[in-house]
Structure 1
Amino acid sequence: MKEPNILIFIPHDLGDYLGCYGHDDVKSPNLDRMAENGVRFTNFFTTAPECTASRASLFSGMYSHQNGLVGLSFMGWKLQVPHFATILREYGYATHLFGFQHESEKPKDLGYDFLHSQDDMHTPAVCDSAIDFIRKQGAGEKPWLAHVGFHSVHRPWYRETTFKPEDINLPSYLPDLPEIRNDYTYFYQSIMNMDVQVGRVLDELEKTGLEENTIVVFTTDHGSPFPGAKATFYDPGVRVPLIVQHKNKLPEGSVVGQLISNIDFMPTMLEYCRYRVPQNIEGHSFLSLLTGEGDYQKRDEVFGAMYYDVSYDPMYYVRTERYKYIRSYGIDPKEVAGADPQALAVFKGSRWVRFDDYDVLTSQTWKTIEKDYGNSKPPKEELYDLKADPEEQHNLALNPASENVLRAMRETLAAMMKKTAAPLPDSHIAPNSVQLEVGGNYRKKLEIN
């Protein structure tokens, strides 16, 4: 097989809100069609429910405490290992970035030689650039990587929508209130608009005849910008879509339910292109699941970590097929002794200002429920039986009947932390000066006097 072109779509803050992922009230016909023509993964998990750390893991095959991006790129954190674009460039690919990325303030440092639509990152403009690029490609050109990134469906949204509040299927862990239903209508409209633009690019790829030599990928960074999703380790925050299509090369309409981490993405793509996978990365290939051929070394768990967003509030999670365990180290002052007090998560008024995303905490949904849901610190330990409690509403960590499971999940997490050289519980990652300044400014905006 000739080296395939690689086209990757990554919107912002989508979660799994697509029709093909069971959200029948969302209109995403183009991405649903892509799933019908390709392979859809239903248990694909990000290592972090935060933009930069998640994307860095996707494109480095390593956890944030291994690759250096333990916080947002605009808060001074830098990738310290090779990016997917850099590796492909070394193999002779022309590397193109269209629109948005979140791993560096300097995209060329990541390995992108050609930058498009950097002055206008609205989704239609980004897709116009991608379509123009595809039209100009000839069959004999060297292979290319096209990363098409959208700021959509991140807040704020246009205040126009064709969706009706009464037609929204709210997640059961949020109260059914008019303000929340109304908030979701704008989110759904943003998804539909994004889907239309992705469809335009896919149509152009087919029209130009490049479809058979281009592997197309669609995923996102983390959960939707609502309480209980983005910036949390609950499944709505860390389970994200992954759809992969390659005409006449990959199965059509295949659905894969195995546990997969987004650190496994890069080694899989390199192996698919028949390139050597770097030995020092943490992820491992799921190529056999993608192609439907060969044996797969099953993952027993997925694991993730969060360190910085607006605050330093270190957390880890480990998830098996049956159980989820979340460990928060920032809750107990003894466990963050030695960390920089200027960066620590704080309790102000009725809000625990940790790494919870600024956009979530300033949303209409949060403002509607804050008085009832925002006045307590989160627990140090959380344990959920995902079979009995798929929406993670009943914390079993203090339930004596779950003592054996809790002990086993603690041991599993400890083993993953040791294996990946996580800094806690023995040490902390010090903030840089930009993190202190910018994070501090965000925290001040979030404080309630």
Structure 2
Amino acid sequence: MHLIKSNLYLFLIIFSVACSNKKTSHTTTADLARPNIILFVADDHGTDAIGAYGNAVIKTPNMDRLAREGVRFDRAYCTSASCAASRSVILTGLYGHASGSYGHTHDYHHFSTFDQVQSLPVMLQVAGYQTARIGKYHLAPESVYRFGTVLEEDERSAVAMAEKCKSVISGEDPFFLYFCTGDPHRGNPFTPDVWSDPNNFGNRSEGYPGVLEEVYSPDEVIVPPFLPDTKESRAELAQYYQSVSRIDQGLGKLMQLLEEEGKADDTIIIYISDNGIAFPGAKTTLYEPGIKLPCIVKDPTRSQKGIVNQSMISWVDLTPTILDMAKVEYDKEQFHGRSFDKILTKEKDEMKRNIYASHTFHEITMYYPMRAVRSGDYKLIWNATYQLPYPFASDLWASSTWQGIYREDVKFFGKRTVDDYLHRAEFELYDLASDPDEVNNLALSEVHATLLEEMKTKLKDFQRKTKDPWYILWDHDPLMQGTGVKL
């Protein structure tokens, strides 16, 4: 009996080792076909300040090179123009209203993703990827957004951040690197000693290691049409441009390290931003400058280069897309987005779908739920608490760009009146083909009454399908509490 037990025990050990070796061999074989993936996320960077998107002034040679060697999306959208809320969507494939990520996580805000949500880095790590993050995190809880490696470096110093990633890039396992700069977010202090002084956007007189600072004259910057062409705006845009150019050099350093390690030909690089430029009229809004963002993808395994893709994509699509790129199986029903991996190198709109946006908070004191749908060239924004004045993020309120208008009691802020910016209609309907600046509200036109109802229906269907708690406000006074009706 003792001999039988011993032989059985020995058999189990041998069987276990054999299975272990078989599993290791299988993983190694799969890994040979799996690319490394870098998701590079800038902080408050719009399409207004990239050479590849048409700005002839700003110096972004590495972003431009990425576009020449890969794919540039011209109709890419975040779902909420707020840092934390947007980043949760990027890494979960779920709208923030469904995951609990209603606004900021840091300091006194305390919003947090539901703990049962499964995130991209966790799924990739289970599949055998080395996962690492560096720079701005702005997510909670850690248990949901867990990375295998956390690297520490000044998030304003993109070149130094890239240098810190050498150990990840040189590793043997396929890696997923979440590389998040603090640039070009506005820099502290948000409120200057003199109100008319421009924010520094993280720029400093002593510069940063390994960076050749690009300094711009306020006279040469290109003022986007949604901003006032004032000396204050131009001075702040010049600082913003400098911060963007510093990001570009960090991207260049990453690309250099990949080449030095022989990893350039099997590493996918995705460059995006969490939301639009940190100026009133963009960040925290659902207007185009706030949510229509850069998305440049270089996949060296694709032969097509320099593609301009016109498909409408959303940050809710990023998690399933990256899982497809990594050859990781998943349940498509667990995400609100859908992968655009198969149409990456197409030029026409191959997705054929509507795009949705969902914003509820930025800072915890900034309650202003908005939902939006873009269908073709038409876009509807629903301001659920339109009776309230539009709230300001602390950094945007203190900006000299805004204060220069506010203090002088100027009627217009860019192409929109100040009153229209602060006091919004319940519904805003725009034809982006004829009115790209979103100033002619068709919701007020009887001619477009049928279209308005069609767009409302699309929005309601979206909210029901994604279990949006704010759906209840369609049938209730938005200034009163809901009744907890099940969606």
Q: Deviations over 1:204-244 (max 9, x none)?
A: 11122101111111111010001211111111100111111
Q: Does structure 1 conserve the Cα–Cα contact (< 8 Å) formed by 2:384 and 2:473?
A: no
Contact kept, 8 Å, 1:288 with 1:296, in 2: the verdict is no
| Partner residue, 2:380 | 325
User: 1:299 Cα shift?
Assistant: 3.4
Shift of 1:6: 0.9
> Counterpart in 1 of 2:111?
77
Write the distance in 1 (CA, Å) between the matches of 2:63 and 2:140: 28
Report the counterpart of residue 341 of structure 1 in structure 2. Answer: none
Distance change >3 Å, CA 64–CA 251, structure 1 → 2? same
Aligned residue among 26, 39, 42 for 1:11 = 42
1:362 has 2:395 as partner: no
Amino acid at match of 1:39: V
1:49 partnered with 2:81: yes
The aligned runs of 1:29-108 (5 Å cut-off) are 29-74=61-106, 75-80=109-114, 81-104=117-140, 106=142
Tell me how many residue pairs correspond in the alignment: 403
Task: Identify which of 433, 438, 441 aligns with 1:387.
Answer: 433
Task: Report the CA distance between 1:71 and its aligned residue.
Answer: 1.1
Residue 63 of structure 1, CA deviation: 0.5
Measure, in 2, the Cα distance between the counterparts of 1:286 and 1:84.
Answer: 16
Contact 1:34/1:243 (8 A) holds in 2 = yes
Asked whether the 8 Å contact 1:159–1:186 carries over to 2, the reply is no
Aligned-partner Cα distance in 1 for 2:440–2:393: 23
User: Cα offset for 1:104?
Assistant: 2.5
1:50-85 superposed Cα distances (whole Å, 9 cap, x missing partner) = 111111111111111112211111221222211110
Separation (CA, whole Å) in 2 of partners of 1:290 and 1:86: 24
1:323 Cα deviation from its structure 2 partner: 0.7
CA pair 109-262 structure 1, distance change in 2 beyond 3 A: closer
1:224 aligns with 2:277: yes
Structure 1 residue 281 corresponds to structure 2 residue 355:
no
SS at structure 2 position matched to 1:244: strand
Query: Secondary structure of 2:111's partner?
Result: coil
Contact kept, 8 Å, 2:41 with 2:181, in 1: the verdict is: yes
Say which SS state the counterpart of residue 303 (structure 1) adopts: strand
Further displaced range: 178-187 or 270-279: 270-279
Amino acid paired to 1:124: V
- CA positional deviation for 1:97: 0.7
Amino acid at match of 2:401: T
**Of residues 159, 162, 187 in structure 2, which corresponds to 1:127?**
162
Alpha-carbon distance in 1 for matches of 2:303, 2:423: 47
- Give the aligned partner of residue 319 of structure 2: 266
Q: Which amino acid aligns with 2:436?
A: P
TM-superposed CA distance for 1:291, in Å, is 4.6
Output one character per residue of 1:280-321: Cα deviation in whole Å (capped at 9) or x when no partner: 21111112211559x996333100111122322111011122
For the structure 1 residues 143 and 225, does the alpha-carbon distance in structure 2 shift closer, same or farther, using more than 3 Å as the test? same
1:251 corresponds to which of 287, 304, 319: 304
Distance 2:451 2:123 in 1: 41
TM-score in terms of structure 2 length: 0.78
Which aligned pairs between 1:123-162 and structure 2 lie closer than 5 A? Answer: 123-131=158-166, 133-134=168-169, 136-137=170-171, 141-156=172-187, 157=201, 158=203, 162=215
- Note closer, same or farther for the CA distance 1:324–1:3 as it changes in structure 2 (3 Å cut): same
8 Å contact kept, 1:46–1:238: yes
Q: Distance in 2 between matches of 1:320 and 1:426?
A: 23
Using a 3 Å threshold, how does the CA distance of structure 1 residues 119 and 331 change in structure 2: closer, same or farther?
same
The residue matched to 2:150 in structure 1 has which SS?
Answer: strand
One-letter code aligned to 2:67: A
Tell me, which stretches of 5 or more residues in structure 1 are unaligned?
333-345, 429-449
CA distance in 1, matches of 2:367, 2:179: 31
Q: Kindly tell me: are residues 296 and 268 of structure 1, through their superposed partners in 2, closer, same or farther at Cα, counting changes over 3 Å?
A: farther
Query: Is 1:22 the equivalent of 2:54?
Result: yes
How many Å separate the matches in 2 of 1:152 and 1:2?
A: 34
Query: What is the alpha-carbon distance in structure 2 between the residues aligned to residue 250 and residue 265 of structure 1?
Result: 22
Q: How much does 1:264 deviate?
A: 0.9
Alignment of 1:359-438 (within 5 A): 359-370=395-406, 371-372=409-410, 373=413, 374-375=418-419, 376-426=422-472
Identity among equivalent positions (%) equals 30
Structure number with larger C-alpha Rg: 2
Q: AA paired with 2:77?
A: F
CA contact (8 A) 1:250 1:291 kept: no
**In 1: Cα distance, 2:99 partner to 2:471 partner:** 19
Q: Structure 2: 5+ residue runs without aligned partners?
A: 1-31, 188-200, 206-213, 475-487
Match of 1:340 in 2: none
Whether the aligned pair in 1 keeps the contact of 2:39 and 2:269 (CA below 8 Å) is yes
- Whether the 8 Å CA contact 2:312–2:349 is kept in 1: the answer is no
Q: Name the residue aligned to 2:29.
A: none
Shift of 1:395: 1.4
- 2:361 maps to a residue whose letter is Y
**Paired residue type of 2:340:** F
Aligned to 1:167, the other structure's residue is in SS state coil
Q: CA deviation at 1:277?
A: 2.4
TM-score between the two structures when normalised by the length of structure 1: 0.85
Q: In structure 2, the residue corresponding to 1:166 is in which secondary structure?
A: coil
